[in-house]
Amino acid sequence: MTARTHIRDAALALFAERGFDAVTVRQIAAAAGVSAGLVVHHFGSKQGLREVVDEYVSSIVDELLAALEADPAAALAADGAQLSGGLGELLIGFLPAGSAVPAYLRRLLLSGDTAGRTVFRRWYDASAAMLARLTEAGFMRASADPPVRAAFMLINDLAVVLLRDHLTDVLGVDPLGPDGLRRWSVEVAAAYTRGVFTTEA
Amino acid sequence: MTARTHIRDAALALFAERGFDAVTVRQIAAAAGVSAGLVVHHFGSKQGLREVVDEYVSSIVDELLAALEADPAAALAADGAQLSGGLGELLIGFLPAGSAVPAYLRRLLLSGDTAGRTVFRRWYDASAAMLARLTEAGFMRASADPPVRAAFMLINDLAVVLLRDHLTDVLGVDPLGPDGLRRWSVEVAAAYTRGVFTTEA
DNA sequence: CGGGAGGTTGAACGTTTGTATAGCATCTTG
DNA sequence: CAAGATGCTATACAAACGTTCAACCTCCCG
């Protein structure tokens, strides 16, 4: 592992935890075990470092989505219940345990930056394509408004990642941990299969 | 409107737009039309101002939830489709158009602060109570895991507020605007009533 | 009318920030 | 082995930050 990589990873972790503005170049350097000057030497500026980290995280998401496109059988083979665990589950399983990427992604999606918008759009496109495949294969009912349905199901999955800490707080169990995931998937599968509202009204 | 209120509102708008760290005391003062010293005079410090704004936004959410509890008939009278528009719709309708509160709430919920946790928990409790009432009244199917269902439906609603800009980007219409809300509500009501997955699998 | 309390300002202070620069060490290459 | 590139550090600096402070203005109350 090169020092440049160390710096990038330290910055990723610190940005994810505290946010870009709250982290100083000196803190990043200390976490990476190098001098502050080296950070600037390698990345030009703090902003330059941010852009590299943004691209790095984006590329990880791209890998995940590409793997999903390359092997949709793995997804299609699974039944609806497991599928409804969704992209959040997929992301967590795809990354090493304790990775800072989900937390960084959370900030990226809410920063209003171009990088966040690009990631969301790619994710949405993959989501829409996947729903189209599932519908064609007969796993899903056809929707009257496929784009909205794709968006709805995508953000429902993302919400688990975005609000994971709050969910853990009120439920008493991490919805993306081993135990919580089981409970979560069962309930979501039920809701997505039978619905939650009655039809009388 | 006192100068203190002006400062608080200016800070609310700026914090919501750019984040706490990215906003300077001088910028807040300029936006409020006062001097930087007066900001500190009224709130003790920048952090003190933040806490006042946090409490102010929390109190607004409290008002909304209290109104919901006080007059559940208004909610219960509505049919399932309208209800599924959910808390996000309710929040937008409750606030003046163009209010910075939703954007501030977004940052509050993702900051990891105590204020955000408190707001989320209150919202969750209100959500769980509402679902219990709806179930008892026969508008909803009973769930095998009510806490998870309440959390699921709550974060689905919150996700629309949190990711509103991205949704507007990919859908081409604001899901909380007049037009988008209609499309969104219809699809969500359909998903929540009939489900999206088929039962064969 | 007098005087104190609170609202408000502008300048100043000390700190911290991101970054530039000069130099040292290490390695590669001809 | 010479020499230049590269990785890396330590110091320095200007700018911007949050905060302090002394002074001024404007009321209100006696």
Length of chain B: 201
Mean pLDDT of B30-57: 97
pLDDT at B76 over 60: no
Task: Using pLDDT thresholds of 50, 70 and 90, give the confidence band for residue B81.
Answer: very low
Q: How many Å lie between the alpha carbon of B122 and the closest alpha carbon of chain A?
A: 10
d(CA A159, CA B160): 9
Lowest mean pLDDT among B73-82, B139-148, B160-169: B73-82
Residues 26-65 of B with CB under 8 A from A: none
pLDDT at B97 over 90: no
Per-residue CA distances from A52 to A57, A100, B16 (Å): 9, 15, 26
pLDDT for position B80: 41
A47 Cβ nearer than 7 Å to chain C strand: yes
Q: Are B145 and A183 in contact (CB under 8 A)?
A: yes
Query: Å from B50 (CA) to D23 (C1')?
Result: 29
Query: What radius of gyration do chain A's Cα atoms show?
Result: 19
Mean pLDDT of B111-125: 95
Q: Are A54 and A113 in contact (CB under 8 A)?
A: yes
B140 bridge partner residues: A197
> Of A22, A158, A183, which has the smallest distance from its Cβ to B145's Cβ?
A183
pTM of the model: 0.92
Residues of B in contact with A191 (CB under 8 A): 149, 152-153, 192, 195
pLDDT for position B74: 63
Residues of A in contact with B115 (CB under 8 A): none
pLDDT for position B83: 55
Q: Are A123 and A61 in contact (CB under 8 A)?
A: yes
pLDDT at A1 over 90: no
Are A158 and B160 in contact (CB < 8 Å)?
Answer: no
Residues of B in contact with A50 (CB under 8 A): none
Q: What is the largest CA-CA distance in chain B?
A: 68
Q: A21-38: per-residue pLDDT in tens?
A: 999 999 999 999 999 999
What proportion of chain A, given as a percentage, has pLDDT over 90? 79
pLDDT for position B1: 80
Using the CA of B37, which nucleotide's C1' is the nearest one?
A: C9
- Looking up tokens 């109570």 gives B129
d(CA B120, CA B191): 25
pLDDT at B8 over 90: yes
Q: How many Å lie between the alpha carbon of A1 and the closest alpha carbon of chain B?
A: 32
Q: A136-180: per-residue pLDDT in tens?
A: 999 999 999 999 999 999 999 999 999 999 999 999 999 998 899
Q: Which nucleotides of D are covered by protein (CB under 7 A)?
A: 7-12, 16-22
pLDDT for position A81: 41
SS (HEC) of A57-114:
HHHHHHHHHHHHHHCHHHHHHCCHHHHHHHHHHHHHHHCCCCCCHHHHHHHHHHCCCH
